[in-house]
Amino acid sequence: MADFVLVHGAWHGAWCWKRILPGLWQAGHRAFPVTLTGTGERAHQLAPGIALKTHIDDVAAVMDAEELAQAVVVGHSYGGIVITGLADRMPERIARLVYLDAVVPLPGESWSSGHPPQTQEQRRQSIAATGSIPPADPALFGLSGADAAWVARRQTPQPGGVYDDRLQFDAARVAALPRTFIDCTSPALGTIAAMRERVRKEPGWQVHEIPTGHDAMISAPEALLRLLLAAAGN
């Protein structure tokens, strides 16, 4: 039995793991999907003071409240920088890090660091105007039809304070943990391109591919579930 901590990406919430949870439960595992401050059902908490540390604190609080000791910590998209900060804080309580088409930062980088200049400019303009980043079109995640409509209904603006917030951490401490990167290849999301290259150049990574879009937990839950179970040693 393993404990999974599931950290969503930008604009999402714990709701996005709905299709993954039953399979983890049926395999005998526990799963703790986290909703980060200001997103999902916590969108009413959106505020200028939300920073990257706020979101790392959110996940650490779940680890503490549930007394998790050897968790498989999964971060999707933006959630990758959040779980990296968590790993730097409490590496002894993490069995494996799983980056699901996610940000894999270097020390001193932010969520924005790997984005093309045009994306950075657009998002910074939105943050300056509204304090947040509006949700992306689910079509960019390879979703269509009912799936796209479901995600579009559920997405909420992303707190702007996390965009350029740089993460300082001990790279050797994080790299000492087992790490998996799951590359969603069809269609491949452009803002993750630099991360795909990075994990294939750095030693110590297990890299898997799923021929689906960025929101694999929605568009390819069975394939993702198999990889998560493997990450837990099943």
Judge whether 77 counts as a catalytic residue.
yes
Per-residue pLDDT, averaged over 209-221, amounts to 98
- CA 169 – CA 88 distance, rounded (Å): 6
Q: Is 168 exposed, middle or buried (0-12, 13-18, 19+ CB in 10 A)?
A: exposed
Dihedral sign computed on CA atoms, order 97, 71, 228, 57: negative
pLDDT in tens, 153-210: 999 999 999 999 999 999 999 999 999 999 999 999 999 999 999 999 999 999 999 9
The answer to whether residue 32 scores a pLDDT higher than 70 is yes
How many other C-beta atoms are found inside a 10 Å radius of the C-beta of residue 84? Answer: 28
CB 159 within 8 A of CB 135: no
Residue 234 banded pLDDT, cuts 50, 70, 90 = low
Residue 113 domain boundaries: 3-231
Per-residue pLDDT, averaged over 140-151, amounts to 98
- CA 30 – CA 1 distance, rounded (Å): 7
Structure-token pair, residue 182: 């799951």
pLDDT in tens, 80-100: 999 999 999 999 999 999 999
Q: Which member of 77, 110, 132, 219 is catalytic?
A: 77
Q: How many domains does the chain have?
A: 1
- Asked if residue 116 has a cis previous peptide bond (ω within 30° of 0), the answer is no
Q: Is 92 exposed, middle or buried (0-12, 13-18, 19+ CB in 10 A)?
A: exposed
Q: Is pTM, for the whole model, over 0.75?
A: yes
The answer to whether residue 233 scores a pLDDT higher than 90 is no
Query: In this structure, what CATH number is given to the domain that contains residue 91?
Result: 3.40.50.1820
